[in-house]
Amino acid sequence: MAAEAVIRFAAMLAAAMTIVAVPASAQTNDPNPDQTKIDCRDGTNAAGADSAKDGSDTEGGSDAAQSGAVFLPALIVDLFPNPAAPPTPVPTPRPEPATPPADTQAGPPPGGPIVSPTDLIAVQPPRAVVGDFVPDEVLVTVDGDAGAVQQIAASFGLQVRSQRQSRLLGTTLVRFGIPDGRPVGVVLAQLAADGRTQRREPNHVYSLQQAAGIVNYAFDRIALDSKQASGENVRIAVIDTGIDDTNPALSGVIAGQFDAMPDVPIEKRDHGTSIDGLIAGVGALEGMAPGAKIYHARAFEGGKSTMDVILSALDWAAEQDVRIINMSFVGPKNDLLGVACRNARALGMVLVAAAGNNGPKAPYGYPAAFDGVIAVTATDAKDGLMPQANRGAYVFISAPGVEMVAPSGAGSDVVTGTSFAAAIVSGAIANLIHAAPDRSADDIEKALAATARDLGPKGRDNDFGYGLLDIKAAAAKD
């Protein structure tokens, strides 16, 4: 029997000498591997030796082919009666349980070591993120306290960069950082596995809507008598750049200020100064609603801001008990912004936003395109549409916004854009509220739509909306 065993062993050894084995469990993460690599793994490549040289995606493949080394994993297992124990299986990664630890600073959350973020299972396909956004951040509303926020960060390999209770969102808003370079869409999909994360959105980037740029003809075009115009004591929030509050046109106009980005130095003050001045300016550059009280939130620098900063400004505005919020900026659709706008409208605030200056073929601009937001496009002194204006079914009304003189950081300037048309509408609405303080946001919106002077195709259209604002007719509307 011993002789037969030796003969069998020699035969098996001789047969194995002709085999160069590649581990059967070798994997690739490439979703579209090239044909050379596929053939190498299947052992069917007609190129032979060249295929073996290209086998570097399997551990030690290239060195083995060049040295003639022989691998016998299956033969060794067959010959020895006590094979080595298989490797311990890797546990499936799961988010931490919903119950936070008693002491969030004492160490990692319970349940064992934190899994690598690259191994996390996404319960949804990766999100396709539209528009500009901060590439290493996500915004998440969380059902839970600070301990839950820390657990989520640890479980998903994230950093807590800021967290606060949002009045308009009605929950905790957390700005998580992504330190390992994972795409935002992947992280959003991974976070969906944790039931404590209610809404998960990119930290989108928004832009002020000032077009390149000669007397303010707006009073005449919207049928507002400048001698009778008044927004006395109507509280209006403006979310914009910093302002030059030493400009004579803003004397006594600013009732309160808030800096939503205090760590960023203020360099530009023109846009915000112009918006405030067009709404409620005094003196030579009188606005549409002199006497109105402006609550100004600085949320932009260099013409840009992020969703997190804008939401902070909106929450502050809501706390000031304002009747109107002017948002002369545009960005992509973001569900968090939509919820904030919807809740602000439910609190009775009139929301006015620029439709956008990105051209006729541009996608819808937000927040203007959200329901309950009055989207304003810009017209010139002859009621012609500004060529750069966005178009679409969301456009609600037209107002002057082309080549108007407005206060700025340098004194005054000629400005053009849907930003400034939005300011004209905000000031006009302040006149309606001053005359009839009990008018609701719904009543005001209906009056504007019913009395607008039709421009372009008959009825509401994608260019002018319902038409040119007629504030005299709107004021007379029951």
Q: Is 166 exposed, middle or buried (0-12, 13-18, 19+ CB in 10 A)?
A: buried
The type of residue at 400 is: P
Is the CB of residue 397 less than 8 Å from the CB of residue 425? yes
For every residue of 208-248, DSSP letters joined together read: E--B------HHHHTT--TTT---TT-EEEEEES---TTSG
Is the CB of residue 135 less than 8 Å from the CB of residue 90? no
In angstroms, rounded to a whole number, what is the distance separating the alpha carbons of residues 127 and 138? 12
The token duo for 135 is: 């590439």
Is the CB of residue 330 less than 8 Å from the CB of residue 272? no
In angstroms, rounded to a whole number, what is the distance separating the alpha carbons of residues 310 and 11? 77
One digit per residue, the tens of pLDDT, for the chain of length 478 reads 445 544 454 444 444 444 333 333 332 333 343 433 333 333 333 333 333 333 333 333 333 333 333 333 333 333 333 334 444 443 434 444 434 433 333 344 433 344 455 567 667 788 899 999 999 999 999 999 999 999 999 999 999 999 999 999 999 999 999 999 999 999 999 999 999 999 999 999 999 987 765 457 999 999 999 999 999 999 999 999 999 999 999 999 999 999 999 999 999 999 999 999 999 999 999 999 999 999 999 999 999 999 999 999 999 999 999 999 999 999 999 999 999 999 999 999 999 999 999 999 999 999 999 999 999 999 999 999 999 999 999 999 999 999 999 999 878 999 999 999 999 999 999 999 999 999 999 999 999 999 999 999 999 999 999 999 999 999 998 6
Burial 204-225 (b: 16+ CB within 10 A, else e): bbbbbbbbeeeebbbbebbbbe
Q: Which pLDDT value is given to residue 477?
A: 86
Q: Which pLDDT value is given to residue 117?
A: 56
Domains of the chain: 2-79 (no CATH), 117-204 (3.30.70.80), 209-476 (3.40.50.200)
Within 13 Å and on the Cβ side, how many CA atoms surround 210? 21
Q: Minimal CA–CA distance to 233: which of 435, 422, 407, 447?
A: 435
Q: Which pLDDT value is given to residue 124?
A: 76
Beta bridge partners of 427: none
Q: Which pLDDT value is given to residue 127?
A: 83
Q: Which pLDDT value is given to residue 213?
A: 56
Burial 115-138 (b: 16+ CB within 10 A, else e): bebeebebeeeebebeeebbebbb
CA angle 315, 370, 241 (to 5 degrees): 45
